Amino acid sequence: MLSNSIKEATREAHLNLEKKVVQKMKAIRSDADYADFLKHFYTYFNQVEQAIAPYITAELLPDHAERRNSQYLKQDIQELGGDVNDLPAAQAPEINNTLQALGALYVMEGSIMGGPIIVKMLEKFGITKGVSFFSGYGEATGQMWAKFVAILNTQAHSLEEEALAIEAANATFSNFGEVFGEVSVA
């Protein structure tokens, strides 16, 4: 099943990105620092959303419009007193078909799973505002993930098709890491 193989094949990319994100979070001292951190998520998620939009139709994913998106990030940044001007450079991976789009969306939807951990870390740094993006779907997270995974699993009918989604997911992870620049992940 694609949901198993994509998880396995992106484990390392997830770990690498997670390390970078945690490293960046450790430098957060104020709402302004946090807003700046969120700008990295905003610019990248926004670009990936645009890249996948032609392929993620309402027919394929009926609840797409109700899912968390980069507008949550924009609201969070504004709640923190920031704005979405002067964004860091970001490059979405190349998306040319539905399987690649689903691979990229897998990364964005899956990131909701780490949200509660991120919210708790932020609390330790005294940050409690602007957390709607990382709060994800709250108690509905498991259910929303199960619905997405069920659809993901209907789309790949061969190892070649699985590979399209997996490669796009790995590129989505690694391109996101580049948005954070060179941070030491030792």
**Footprint on this chain of ligand HEM (rule: CB under 6 A):** 7, 14, 17-18, 21-22, 106-107, 110-111, 113-114, 117-118, 176
Task: Give the nearer residue to ligand HEM in terms of CB position, either 60 or 116.
Answer: 116
Asked if 131 and 137 touch (Cβ cutoff 8 Å), the reply is: no
In the complex, the smallest distance separating the C-beta of residue 101 from ligand HEM, rounded to whole angstroms, is 15
In the chain, which residue ranges form alpha helices assigned H by DSSP? Answer: 2-9, 11-25, 31-52, 70-79, 98-110, 115-124, 132-135, 141-155, 159-179
Task: Give the nearer residue to ligand HEM in terms of CB position, either 23 or 97.
Answer: 23
Asked if 95 and 104 touch (Cβ cutoff 8 Å), the reply is: yes
Task: Give the nearer residue to ligand HEM in terms of CB position, either 18 or 79.
Answer: 18
Number of CB atoms found within 10 A of residue 162's CB: 20
| Residue nearest ligand HEM, CB atom distance | 110
Task: Give the nearer residue to ligand HEM in terms of CB position, either 81 or 143.
Answer: 143
In the complex, the smallest distance separating the C-beta of residue 158 from ligand HEM, rounded to whole angstroms, is 20
Task: Give the nearer residue to ligand HEM in terms of CB position, either 55 or 133.
Answer: 133
Cβ neighbours of residue 75 closer than 8 Å, sequence gap 6 or more: 130, 132
Contacts of 82-86 with C-beta under 8 Å, sequence gap 24+, read 82/32, 82/35, 82/36, 82/38, 82/39, 84/39, 84/42, 84/43, 86/39
In the complex, the smallest distance separating the C-beta of residue 179 from ligand HEM, rounded to whole angstroms, is 10
In the complex, the smallest distance separating the C-beta of residue 7 from ligand HEM, rounded to whole angstroms, is 3
In the complex, the smallest distance separating the C-beta of residue 118 from ligand HEM, rounded to whole angstroms, is 5
